[in-house]
Structures are given as structure tokens and as C-alpha cells.
Structure 1
């Protein structure tokens, strides 16, 4: 059953970042945006315009610069190395998208297209998940190695376990996103049936609070334009 706005705000209050993650990157902030009353569907003209605009913007931004040399992406590479990940093999989500932008970003569905466009245009990792498939609050932690992660391999669903110390988003049922913002689980991914979603915008030191807030506003505006009547709430988690 869909929750009302008060329930959304109550859920937002339960989102936490573990002290072990704060010790790793004291400059980390998450802007968590929750929306209900969304209208899911295939990519459309509006999401196409957002993606095309983001592609044009990043071509100009990175005309003479490699994506990994952008200050915010360089900071994310450092963060990945700090917990043992190799960013040249498992890239922060924003870097992976920016590398694809010159040749064209993927067209997935209208909600995914929206958050991918905002991620690229504002050069920050941004993920979206189906809130109705969450079990309890979202927590950013360092894995113990026991938490299950549901993914796909060989055309089927498989359960993996993250190495101890990896930074992961999790809920009561397991890991929802590995390596901070690298790969989302199958269980909570957005689908063509999603009407309630949580979006997490990740920022490190080179991105100021004002820039993070601007990205959040752009996301909120795009969601409401795509789904008139949608309810949106947000919280900055430090």
C-alpha cells in the first residue's frame, strides 16, 4: 500500500550513515529524495530531451578532460580505493555514465532516464530504487561479509556476499547497492510498475552543498514534470 507524505518523511528520518563510513570519508553527504505517485513507463519525449541535454552538456564539460580527472569523480575514485575497490575495474556510477555520454547514454525507462540525466548533467553518482521493495530503513554501512546481495548471472538470479569492509547500502533484507554506488540489487531496482521510489545523490568534498542541492532540485523538478501530482520529500544525511 502506498504511504502518504507523512510516512515518506518518517522513512527518510530512518536513513543512516554508519560511523565506519564517516571515518572513511568525513566529507560524504547523501541527499535522499523520496517520491510517490510516480507514473512509470517506457522512455518518452521528455526523458529523451533530458538525456540529450545531459549528453550535450557533458561533451562540452569534458571536451579536453578525461572523466576521471574531474575533481568530483577523482574524489570518488579515492573513496573506492580506500575500501579496497579498483575504480578502473568497477567505476563509480557517475564515471561509468559519463564515459558513455559522448556516444550516447542508454535509454532504459522514463524514471531511470531522468535520474541518469541528472547524474550526468551534475557529475554525481545518483541511483533510484523501488521503495515498495525495501525492507526497513536504508543504511550505508561497511559490509561484514554476511549480507546477501541479489544480482543476475547467466540469465538467472544469484546471491552474492560482499567482502568485509566494502561500503554498501543495505536494508533489513540485505545489500541494495554494492560499492557505494556501483551496482544495484535486483530486488529494489526500478521497473515499469514502480510508483514509489527513493533516489540517493552522493557527494564528496569537491561538490559543495549548494551544488548538491541544485542537483536535488533538478531531479525533483524533472520527476514532478514527468508525474504531475507526485509527492516528493528529501533529506540531507551527513
Structure 2
């Protein structure tokens, strides 16, 4: 399958830096408590100095949401939502070893990290503006239709695997106990994203090797080289 952002998004958001990892052999029962705690501690140190709204990574997404006509204090990117929860509760919920790890890396870097079960994706996956008739499955099992012009992750089956770009993932392709093959996507827009995203991708790849003895395929995409194939 191919993953890419459409040309219009590169034009509208020229500071976009996406990182991608593909990994097979994911399973439950893998201990990740130590790295999760370490990444959460990094985030907690940053939060002790400034609230998440002051993170440049988050501020850039707030500007993007405003540019898309979304109220950024109502619709937040995934990393901001996780940082808010970490600040208020002191830790993040434990869901699945891979999700726990990716969430912890996300808050440490302040950058959204999405994880998709590839067995639930039909054909290719594009980040694009919605037509308005895509099917989005909620975590509760309901179905929504994204607004026309909304940024979504959409597959060839015309199913939306996110809403409002990095705001909310679909329950359809969420990681579950049976998940083995995943695509991990991180996206940043802030000034130092060209340096930060490769560091995040490398750190996450190292953790996947250590925890799952898996060898991920990784890439940092650009406007000139926007396609990831797996």
C-alpha cells in the first residue's frame, strides 16, 4: 500500500514534516513500562515549565486548525489532548503496549503520533480534503460523515480513518489485541520539525526493536518525495 499527503496539503501547509514507520510482528504482553515512564517524565518536565499550549509543536497545530476554520480550543491535535491529560492526571491510561509507547513518545516530543492497523485499511491511504461522503467509524461503533473540505486520512474504500486531521482517529483501524501489522504516522508543522521528526522516528524505531525485536521500515517524507510504500 501507498501512504501520502495530497499535493494541496503540501501547498496549504508548506512547513509540514511527516514521519512514517511500518512494522510487523506487533503483539500484546510486551513490557514497555520503563520507556513509557521515561518519556512521560520528559513531558512532565516540559509541562512544569510551560503549559502544553506554550509548546511550539502544539502552537503550530493550533494555527493550522485555525487556518482550517476550526476553533483550536475545541478541536485539539492528539498530542495536545494527551499532554492536557498528563498534566491533569500525572500519567496516561494504559491501553495496549504499542499505543502506550506511542502516546508516551508523542507527549515527550509534543508531536501527534497515529497508529493504524493495516489489516483494516483498504488499499492506499491518503491524507486529503474530504469529499463529505466518506464513512468514519467512531470508537463507539457509530458512523459519521466528515465535513466536505475537512482533512482526513482516507483509504481507497472511501473510509475515513481520522477526523479533523490529527484531532481524532477512527475506531475502525485502531490497534487491538489481534493487531500485528501497523503503520505509524507522525506529523509536525513547527519551525524545528525538520530536526525533531527524524529524532522522533529514530527513537520510536529503537523502542520497537527493543520491545518487539522487530525491524521497522522508516521514512521522513517531503514535498519532493511524499510517498511511503509498504
Residue 213 of structure 1 is aligned with which of 188, 198, 202? 198
Secondary structure of the residue aligned to 2:138 is strand
Total equivalences in the alignment: 219
Gap runs ≥5 in structure 2? 223-230
2:25 aligned partner: 37
2:145 aligned partner: 161
1:188 CA drift (Å): 0.8
CA RMSD after TM alignment: 1.5
**Preserved CA contact (<8 Å) 1:24 1:82:** no
Say if 2:60 is the partner of 1:79.
no
**Preserved CA contact (<8 Å) 1:114 1:223:** no
1:28 aligned partner: 16
TM-score between both structures, scaled by the size of structure 1: 0.87
Cα distance in 2, alignment partners of residues 119 and 24 from structure 1: 24
TM-score between both structures, scaled by the size of structure 2: 0.90
**Preserved CA contact (<8 Å) 1:84 1:166:** no
Secondary structure of the residue aligned to 1:62 is helix
Judged with a 3 Å threshold, the aligned counterparts in structure 2 of structure 1 residues 137 and 207 are, in CA distance, closer, same or farther, namely: farther
Say if 2:84 is the partner of 1:96.
no
Cα distance in 2, alignment partners of residues 76 and 170 from structure 1: 20
Residue 193 of structure 1 is aligned with which of 146, 163, 178? 178
Gap runs ≥5 in structure 1? 1-10
Cα distance in 1, alignment partners of residues 220 and 196 from structure 2: 13
Does 57-66 or 75-84 show the bigger shift? 57-66
Give runs of ≥4 in structure 1 deviating > 6 Å: none
Cα distance in 2, alignment partners of residues 233 and 55 from structure 1: 25
Cα distance in 2, alignment partners of residues 207 and 143 from structure 1: 29
Say if 2:154 is the partner of 1:170.
yes
Does 141-150 or 202-211 show the bigger shift? 202-211
Secondary structure of the residue aligned to 1:199 is strand
Secondary structure of the residue aligned to 2:95 is coil
Cα distance in 1, alignment partners of residues 193 and 171 from structure 2: 32
**Preserved CA contact (<8 Å) 2:208 2:215:** no
Cα distance in 1, alignment partners of residues 220 and 39 from structure 2: 24
1:23 CA drift (Å): 2.4
Cα distance in 2, alignment partners of residues 25 and 210 from structure 1: 17
Residue 96 of structure 2 is aligned with which of 109, 120, 123? 109
